Chains A and B, each alone.
Chain A
Amino acid sequence: MDREATRRANRRVLRNTLVVAAGMFGFGFLLVPIYGAICTAFGINGQTAAIEAAQADKVAVDKSRQVTVQFHAIVNDKLPWAFRPVVSEMKVHPGEVRTIYYTAENLSGRDSVGQATHSVTPDKAAVHFKKTECFCYRQQALKPGERKQMPVRFMLHPALPKDVHEVTLTYTFFNAAAFAVSN
């Protein structure tokens, strides 16, 4: 190859590899929605949990078995709240819609905003844990010393695998002051 041809070939490699590098930079960000899509597909992070109330009522109740649902509450140490479920566990039939409450209390002397995340164990039960209403769908604001009861309406879908006898629902409340939106 003569000198000029080599120069042109080198420039071509430079251009192509830079395009690939730029594409991979974009791909790094694309991993965010890909991750979200995979979580939805596998029911990770409770992303398949939401269901319309009207739809939930149509689901047939499976009276033949009962599943124990345990409720669990965690507060991230950046948030000065007390947070606990009113009842710690209950037995439900798959398909029946139940309402439970969590209470949250602002222990600090300042206005405070929290955002809860949820998780369901065991993993294979997560896709079948349906909620028509949850305090975790939006931020919760508490004034100094304010205490509030927050409902969760949920249902275990009858498609829940037969070998699951216990399901745990966990909420973690994080300090969302930095991300506060006015409801």
Chain B
Amino acid sequence: MSTTMTHDAGHHEEHPTGIKRWLFTTNHKDIGTLYLWFSFTMFLIGGTFALVIRAELFEPGLQIVNPQFFNMMTTMHGLVMIFGAIMPGFVGLANWQIPLMVGAPDMALPRMNNWSFWLLPFAATMLVAPMFMGAHFMDGNGPWFGWTFYAPLSLQYNHLAYFVFAIHLLGISSIMGAINIIATILNMRAPGMTLMKMPLFVWTWLITAFLLIAVMPVLAGCVTMLLTDKYFGTSFFNAAGGGDPVLFQHVFWFFGHPEVYIMILPAFGIVSQIIPTFARKKLFGYSSMVYATASIAFLSFIVWAHHMFTVGMPVAGELFFMYATVLIAVPTGVKVFNWVATMWRGSMTFEPPMLWAISFVFLFTIGGLSGIMLAVVPADVQYQDTYFVVAHFHYVLVTGALFGIIGAVYYWLPKWTGNMYSDKLAKWHFWLSLVSVNLTFFPMHFTGLAGMPRRYADYPLEFTRFNQWSSVGAFIFGFSQLLLLILVIKCIRGGQKATSEVWEGAEGLEWTVPSPAPYHTFAIAPEVK
């Protein structure tokens, strides 16, 4: 994207060109762009892993890969999607949008911003490197212990140090990104923009950033314990040395549950930006949205053990974690209610961002409802580690987090490129994705309830039909995403010029700057009434 045009403020648009621009950039828009392309690349890699899984599961029996390789695929799919695609995707959106939305000239700590991005490619390389370290690629030498890397299983893995240091780097990157976002939001807001006037995307990211700072270090501690258990003779998790495998699950999920909200709260913010724009109404219940987000963040710290109801826990513990978990449905319900109430009697139009936002509300709610089913202890004992869980977290992470990111791209892309994108291509992308994502994940509810366990390369004959639907859906969904790539490239290259407002009646500071947003914006802070 070249941004050599000058604009009203008349200051310089100069920056190094070529590779140096991207390596040394401290510009929030450049870094946002880097994050988003990184995220999309990892999304395609993680998606490829998913398609290997679905190809193998198209039929019972072993056809394409051996079980070890299959386990590596499920593990790497999870790790790459979570740490490579979803989290950097949100950070990329934050980089691009938060300064624009709060009227700041850049992120608060621009050089740290550069560093937090450039750690990612190295971390990702270290994460996937062990896949290529065996005598044969098809042996499956990458991590194969599930993305949750439960000890002591993961302690049996030969290249564990690569995994641990990759997680360390990813964690450092996330923490630095979060610090930057907090500093930007707290210190760099335009005069007049009080906290309760901030756009919800900014609010949700502020809360997410605090979650990141609170739990990424716990993850770092968790993998450090694995590292010393494996190489330095400690036994945090090794029963033979007096350690306890259940302790691992507690430490991991103390990180893991806030982590799932890290991956959804910014999407809540995005949807809260998009729906008012295309319903042409103010967001219903702004302050309740803020408080609901904060409540969800708080509750996320006291529900972790609902991931481990079957490890053998005192009944009192099970009840506490069950009630606390079900309680999350209240603030989440408030949010869903507010989105629906915003649309109620609005003058709705269905541009591509709105389509993604509405499908987010609908499908994320399905994921939320299966979440409540999983929160109920006696039911969870039945559902634990089945495809019902897989269905649940893909409804909240694919049709939740990912749909949120895609919706955001459709919403802000004209602002980034200065061009409108092809509406026809966008509709094809949306409808193919919507149908195929449900074809993929809805049948998993049934296979799960029928008892099909997750993370196996094979299954009994009676699950064949549902698995074939899932596989067909997955391939359509996967290849549909290439339409997004084509659409974005076409939009960068040209198209109908976007106005600075882009969407009729859109509110927010980002719509007051020209499209494409100049390299430097808000050198003079705008005044917010």
Interface residues of A (CB under 8 A from B): 1, 6, 9-10, 13-14, 17-18, 20-29, 31-32, 35, 42, 44-45, 76, 78, 114-115, 117, 123, 172, 174-176, 178-179
CB pair A176–B222 under 8 Å, yes or no, is: no
Give the docked Cα–Cα distance between A32 and B255 (Å): 14
**Do A13 and B213 touch (CB < 8 A)?**
no
Asked if residues A28 and B183 are in contact (CB atoms below 8 Å), the reply is: no
- For A175, the closest partner residue in chain B by CB is B240
Q: Is the CB of A179 within 8 A of B247?
A: no
Residues of A within 8 A of B514 (CB): none
Partner of B312, one of A31, A123, A176: A123
Q: Which chain A residues border B315 with CB–CB below 8 Å?
A: 123
Q: Which among B20-28, B174-182, B496-504 touches the partner chain?
A: B174-182
A32 CB contacts on chain B under 8 angstroms: 225, 236, 247, 251
Please tell me if the beta carbons of B240 and A179 are within 8 angstroms of each other in the complex: yes
Pairwise interchain contact A21-B250, C-beta atoms closer than 8 A: no
The answer on a CB contact under 8 Å between B220 and A31 is no
Q: Note all chain A residues with C-beta closer than 8 A to B112.
A: 14
Question: Which residue of chain B lies nearest to A8 when distances are taken between CB atoms in the complex?
Answer: B187
In the complex the two chains form, is A28's CB within 8 Å of B314's CB?
Answer: no
B241 and A10 contacting across the interface, CB-CB below 8 Å: no
Beta-carbon nearest neighbor of B104 in chain A: A6
Complex: A21 Cα to B168 Cα, angstroms: 13
Q: Are B240 and A28 in contact (CB under 8 A)?
A: no
Smallest Cβ-Cβ distance to A13: which chain B residue: B183
Is A6 a contact of B187 with CB atoms below 8 Å? yes
Task: Find out whether the CB atom of B214 lies under 8 angstroms from the CB atom of A179.
Answer: no
- CB-CB under 8 A from A174, the residues of chain B are 238-240
Asked whether, in the complex, the Cβ of A176 is within 8 Å of the Cβ of B182, the reply is no
User: In the complex, are the beta carbons of B175 and A21 less than 8 A apart?
Assistant: yes
Query: A53 to B482, alpha carbons, bound, how many Å?
Result: 72
Q: Could you show 9 A-B contacts with beta carbons less than 8 Å apart?
A: A13-B108, A14-B112, A17-B178, A24-B214, A27-B217, A31-B250, A115-B239, A117-B239, A172-B239
B254 near A31 with CB under 8 A, answer yes
Given A35-B247, A178-B240: A13 in contact with B214 (beta carbons within 8 A): no
Evaluate contact between A21 and B241: CB separation under 8 angstroms.
Answer: no
State A21–B180 Cα separation when bound (angstroms).
13
Task: Please report the C-alpha to C-alpha distance between residue A44 and residue B247 in the assembled complex, in whole angstroms.
Answer: 12
CB distance from A161 to the nearest CB of B (A): 13
The yes or no answer to B265 lying at the interface (CB within 8 A) is no
User: In whole angstroms, how far apart are the Cα atoms of A31 and B248 in the complex?
Assistant: 10
Pairwise interchain contact A6-B188, C-beta atoms closer than 8 A: yes
Residues of A near B215 (CB, < 8 A) are 24
With a CB–CB cut-off of 8 A, which chain B residues contact A25? 217-218, 220-221
Give the residues in chain A near B221, CB-CB below 8 Å.
25-29
The reply to whether A21 and B213 contact each other, CB–CB distance below 8 Å, is: yes
Write the chain A residue with the least CB distance to B172.
A21
Which 5 interchain pairs have the tightest Cβ spacing? A28-B221, A174-B240, A179-B241, A25-B217, A24-B217
Contact with A along B255-295 (1 / 0, CB 8 A): 10000000000000000000000000000000000000000
What's the nearest-Cβ distance from chain A to residue B523, in Å?
A: 11
- Give 1 or 0 for each of B108-138: 1 = CB within 8 Å of chain A CB: 1100100000000000000000000000000
